Homo-oligomer: A and B are copies of this chain.
Amino acid sequence: MRPFFASRISPRMTTNAASGTPAPKAGTPAEIDQLVADLRQGSRRAIASAITTLEALAPTASELLKKLQPYLGHALIIGLTGPPGAGKSTLVNALIQELRRNDRSVGVIAVDPSSPVSGGAILGDRIRMTAALDDDGVFVRSLASRGYLGGLSPAAVRVIDALDAASFDIILLETVGTGQNEIDVAEVADIRIVASAPGLGDDIQAMKSGLLEIADIMVVNKGDRDGAERTLQQLKGALSIRAGQVADVPIIKTTALSGAGVPELIAAIDKLAAPILSSDATERRRKRARYLIARAAADLVAERIKTGGSDLINALADEILTGEATPSEAAHKLLK
């Protein structure tokens, strides 16, 4: 069985590259207390060690998580997604720089939808992205997902907690707009930004129009390119008839390479953030936890039905084959 996720080292911990992630240090209650104290002080090594412990679901993970509880609820969690070619990594880089200019700290979790198989290229990319950073106000972590079909690892949410407890103001969850990861990030983030760019072609337009459904803020990146204005107008048109809701999704044009438009993007984020940050932080975290349970339960139910083959399930399947019931009707009957 493939593990839930393959942990990746932080680019800041390159000395550990050969041996993988550092072994969790904290074991005894006193050691865990020390780890929490160091993490609260912003120690990079403590943050990395805490993340490793939480990711690994090590025996001490539960103890550590309990001790982090009093310090949670500070951070704003922003999901950033979009199709391949939208320039998401560059945009993350630009966001980091602009947020730092305003003295706000940033934790980045880059969720990589690739299989463990081919993760190398992406990690390389991530390191390039953050090579310029030498700043305690920034922490970047790449996490593999549970694979294309599997979605975000439950551990990713624990990593959010570690960064939150370490007092980062903003936590950026970045993922390429595809598969279950996308759905998960949409549920886990407080604010969802969907990035696009001119000239991505038809197939990608289709993908993007799907992503419209989850956008709180749209970004047209590569704004200095030909066709940027046209892309912006098209998105405006598409958003104006987004199913079932009034269109008040801001669309921001950015050129991440030069930083143009990034202050406007942050202003749009802040406008949405105000009511969120003044809401009940525990309830926000509970909502995320409910989502994780819901996803796990849905997986469990689906797996039981697909493989179960009980008499009832087979009878319901036959009702679908003959048109007597729709899948939804059959599911309702089954869950009664």
- Select one of B147, B241, B285, B324 contacting A117, CB under 8 A: B241
B297 and A206 within 8 A (CB): no
Cα of A214 to Cα of B121 in the assembled complex, Å: 21
Indicate if the CB atoms of B289 and A321 lie closer than 8 Å.
Answer: yes
Per assembly, the copies of the chain total 2
Give the contacts of A282-307 with B (CB-CB under 8 A).
282, 285-286, 289-303, 305-306
Interface check A260, CB cutoff 8 A: no
Footprint of B on A, CB under 8 Å? Answer: 1-2, 57, 61-66, 69, 83-85, 112-118, 121-122, 125, 147-149, 154, 158, 176-180, 182-183, 186, 200-207, 209-214, 238, 241-244, 282, 285-286, 289-303, 305-306, 309, 313-314, 316-318, 320-324, 326-328, 330-332, 334-335
CB distance from A63 to the nearest CB of B (A): 7
Task: Tell me whether chain A's interface is mostly helix, strand or loop, or mixed.
Answer: helix
* Inter-chain contacts of A298 with B (CB < 8 A): 298-299, 301-302
Given contacts A182-B179, A289-B320, A298-B298, contact A122 B313 (CB under 8 A): no
Q: How many angstroms between the C-alpha atoms of A204 and B200 in the bound complex? A: 12
User: Which residues of chain B come closer than 8 Å to A330, judged between CB atoms?
Assistant: 292-293, 296
Q: Would B113 and A321 count as touching, CB distance under 8 A?
A: no
Tell me, in angstroms, the Cα distance from A124 to B148 when the chains sit together: 29
Q: With A207-B176, A212-B115, A326-B154 in contact, is A317–B301 under 8 Å at CB? A: no
Interface contact B210-A147, CB-CB below 8 Å: yes
